Amino acid sequence: MTKNELKKFLSDSFGEGVYFRELRLSTEEIKVLRELYPHATVRRTTEVSDANSKAWYEINLLPRKVEGTETIQEENRRLKQEIEVLKKGMN
């Protein structure tokens, strides 16, 4: 994949409000990702094990501590609980 193709792929992957993805990337592709998103958190989740020298990585574009994040997470937990209650009520 060329650098421009990779930039488009990453832009598409993190478009429309998506901040977290698990992607299979090479070491060189990770370098490009870090250039484009210097504050991203990158965590390798598998060992490099194929002919393309790629591994799976969790990529999070949100900073570790964002003011208000806890409130959003609490709201997400509350909504998940409400959904579970509604699902149980339908059965």
pLDDT tens digits for 18-65? 899 999 999 999 999 999 999 899 999 988 876 778 999 999 998 666
Distance CA 49, CA 61 (A): 25
pLDDT tens digits for 5-23? 999 999 999 988 889 999 9
Q: What angle do CA 42, 12, 17 make, to 5 degrees?
A: 75
Residue 4 has what pLDDT? 92
- Return the minimum-mean-pLDDT range out of 54-58, 60-64, 69-73, 87-91: 69-73
